[in-house]
Amino acid sequence: MEISFWPQAYTSERVSPQASQTDETTSFSKMLQSEWDKSTQISTPPLQLPFLLPMLQQPLFLDEKNTYEEVATLQTKVEEVYGTAEQKVEQSKGTAPTSKAESYGPLIESIAAEFGVDAKLVKAVIQHESNFNERAVSSVGASGLMQLMPSTARALGVKSIFDPAENIRGGVKYLKQMLDRYNGNEALALAAYNAGPGNVDKYGGVPPFKETQNYVPKVLNTYRSYA
């Protein structure tokens, strides 16, 4: 199903002032149901279908009770196949690709041993920072497996931020510095890794930032699950 089909069909019905809202709604709903029925008969449902859902929230489809219920039913069906967007994002952040996690295992263990840091803690940090994606780049420019900021990477001697070995070595070195700074307190070290040691010192503990408040227990829980 081409996604461009729906706006065209929708527009062609909307331009006629004589067309009633009920007729438009019923016609569009029937077309949607027809496409859904087709998609469920093939092995891989069309990826475009979930992107139609925001269109269904337009006032036209909220005015008629019966049609709204039909749309809600269709949305439920789509989410059963694809899952909600929130679930997809959480899964991508919280579940490491087994093959990549395993492939980086020897490198992580070697570098962690070099700095005297528990390899399982390093793996937990990498899982939540980049999900083992060596090309990951955040909205603020943190890059690579351990999501190093360019300035931090330079200070740590990292020349190629996307090189897995250099990135991990720089990240582990920084994590070790934070562990030493906070006398082995893993929660504070992780808070400093996420929000900077200045903020940990300023607030005398894990800073009251939502991201950091969520980050620390998530990484610790993953770390303990490796034990």
Residues 6+ apart with CB under 8 A from 164: 104, 107, 134, 144, 145
- The catalytic residue positions are 129
Helix (H) or strand (E) holding 57: none
For the record, the structure tokens of 104 come out as 């980086």
The predicted structure's pLDDT at residue 39: 53
62 has pLDDT over 60: no
- pLDDT tens-place string over residues 91-104: 444 444 568 889 99
Closest CA to 53 of 40, 66, 35: 35
* Gap between the Cα atoms of 184 and 188, Å rounded: 9
137 has pLDDT over 70: yes
- pLDDT tens-place string over residues 166-188: 999 999 999 999 999 999 999 99
14 has pLDDT over 90: no
Are 149 and 167 spatial neighbours (Cβ–Cβ below 8 Å)? no
The predicted structure's pLDDT at residue 9: 38
Q: How far is CA 1 from CA 48, 52, 154, 204, in A?
A: 7, 11, 48, 56
Are 4 and 42 spatial neighbours (Cβ–Cβ below 8 Å)? no
Q: Tell me 133's DSSP state.
A: -
